[in-house]
Structure 1
Amino acid sequence: MNNIQKNIKRIISQIESAQKKYGRARNSVQLLAVSKTKPIEAILDAVQGGQKFFGENYVQESINKIQFFRKNYANLSLKWHFIGPIQSNKTRHVSENFDWVHTINRAKIAQRLNDQRPVGMEPIQVLIQVNTCSEKNKFGVFENEIFALVDLITSLPNLTLRGLMSIPANTSDHQSQFIAFSKLTKLKNKLTKKYPQLELDTLSMGMSGDMDAAIRAGSTMLRIGTSIFGTRNDK
């Protein structure tokens, strides 16, 4: 067992402990391994450690990885999540290659992803990125903008809305982290009440430095990179 595999095992143990501590159901939190800037060899180590879900930020780099694994390890059924900002000129590449997109924050992006999804592929599982800290320099929609975006996404046949994602302000204080994450949980609950026909089962929140608070607040998907792969390489 190499370091990456040991790290995955350790993090899964931490997730299980936090689920128990906060009264969460077993297996209610998924681990998304953030493999941006990491080589194929490191991802393969993670796969051999049982990891199936990977998050990528950079379109061209990620396509090379995805195509390699689909060509050489198709039997593994890996799922690829795009978790970075999406530029309009990159939507086709994202739509053609990824299973999930966490960063929908504009109607134009949602429409392009839908229109560019190849015939025969399953719908993209998507999350709306929400700006929970009300900072204008942060990506994501504000709460008062979200309902129009939900209405659009649910009208698009090649997208399936699964929930919300956020990146809160950086802080090491557990209670501050919890309060920030709880805003997203409350917003998802509002959406569930307004749109009971939707299966909004995903809250993508929590990274290496705040995963405990995220689990406490209701996260169902943690985006963990550094704690698995070590300090990331500069792109």
Structure 2
Amino acid sequence: MSSIADNLQRVRRRIDRAALDSGRDPSAIRLIAVSKSFPQQAVAEAVAAGQRDFGESYVQEAIVKIEALAAQRALLQWHFIGPLQSNKARPVAERFDWVHSVDRLKIAQRLSELRPAQLPPLQVCIQVNIDGQASKHGVAPADAPALARAVAGLPRLRLRGLMSIPAPMQSAAGQREVFGRVAALAAQLRDEGIAVDTLSMGMSDDLEPAVAAGATMVRVGTAIFGRRW
């Protein structure tokens, strides 16, 4: 059985190849190890292998891991990547470094209000439902610019970019096309004077087309930690 350290090396090689094949610098792509549903021992093993960014979707589970690794807190970045309800905004604002899943102004306002003054601004991405899936969270692409402008004006947040989870597709070309729409939306925001530098897109099965389309963060769980049961 492969170790988490071995799996991390394999994923990083995939990212490097995808970047080089696209004429990009591999160091421009940040690997988020999606550790949700896996025990804190798995996270500790990944930390020992050099991984520093972790993605979580369940607040209480994440808090246990963050506290267990408190001694290494200065080394680690914790990314909240799941749907967020208002009643869970406080612990996320207090304990996470990034939130990738902002999809409405009310949540962004709550995060800004609850972010402790002694911490740096919370880094946030707006989640875009790029292909209109009924089962997915995210703002419609047409509504993203208005939300981005509003979020960018909040005092305790720093808007960084967009996140999206497109529906699985059979062809790499189709995947690149839909990821390309997310990248085009980010370019539109920049043209409108909204400073964004992050595209959080691509997972275990589709990180290569995401990198080809311009992803700066890929969120990988299964290829690192194995299947969730």
TM normalised by structure 1 equals 0.94
Q: Is the 8 A contact 2:36 2:62 kept in 1?
A: yes
Partner of 1:44: 44
C-alpha separation between the residues in 2 aligned to 1:55 and 1:74? 14
* C-alpha distance after superposition, 1:124-145 (max 9, x if no partner): 0000000110233321111221
Aligned to 1:213: 209
Q: Which runs of 5 or more residues in structure 2 are unaligned?
A: none
Partner-residue secondary structure (3-state), 1:103: strand
The 5-angstrom pairing of residues 1-235 of structure 1 reads 3-70=3-70, 72-75=71-74, 77-195=75-193, 198=195, 200-233=196-229
Q: C-alpha offsets along residues 19-74 of structure 1, whole Å, 9 cap, x if unaligned?
A: 1111112311111000001111111110111100000000110011112212x324
Give the conservation status (yes or no) of the 8 Å contact 1:124–1:160.
yes
Is contact 2:66-2:73 (8 Å) kept? no
Segments of structure 1 that go 5 or more residues without pairing to the other structure are: none
Query: Percent identity, aligned pairs only?
Result: 46
Aligned residues: 228
What per-residue deviation string (whole Å, max 9, x for no partner) do you get for residues 166-221 of structure 1?
A: 0001223211111110000000000011115x2x1110000000011111111110
CA distance in 2, matches of 1:42, 1:136: 33
What is the CA deviation profile of residues 86-139 of structure 1, one whole-angstrom value per residue up to 9, with x for unaligned ones?
011111111111000000000000000000111211110000000110233321
Secondary structure in structure 2 of the residue aligned to 1:136: coil
- State whether residues 83 and 103 of structure 1, in contact with CA within 8 Å, keep that contact through their aligned partners in structure 2: yes
Contact preservation (8 Å) 1:55, 1:81: yes
Looking at structure 2, the residues matched to 105 and 61 of structure 1 have their Cα atoms a distance apart, in angstroms, of 22
Question: SS in structure 2 opposite 1:27?
Answer: helix
Preserved contact between residue 172 and residue 210 of structure 1 (Cα < 8 Å): no
Following superposition, the deviation at residue 153 of structure 1 comes to 1.0
Give distance in 1, aligned partners of 2:64 and 2:133. 34
CA RMSD of aligned residues (A): 1.2
TM-score after normalising by structure 2: 0.96
**C-alpha separation in 1, matches of 2:175 and 2:129:** 14
Q: Distance in 1 between matches of 2:51 and 2:205?
A: 20
Letter matched to residue 229 of structure 1: F
Aligned mates of 2:201, 2:72 — CA distance in 1: 29
In the TM superposition, what is the alpha-carbon distance from 1:150 to its structure 2 partner?
A: 1.4
Q: Distance in 1 between matches of 2:41 and 2:170?
A: 32
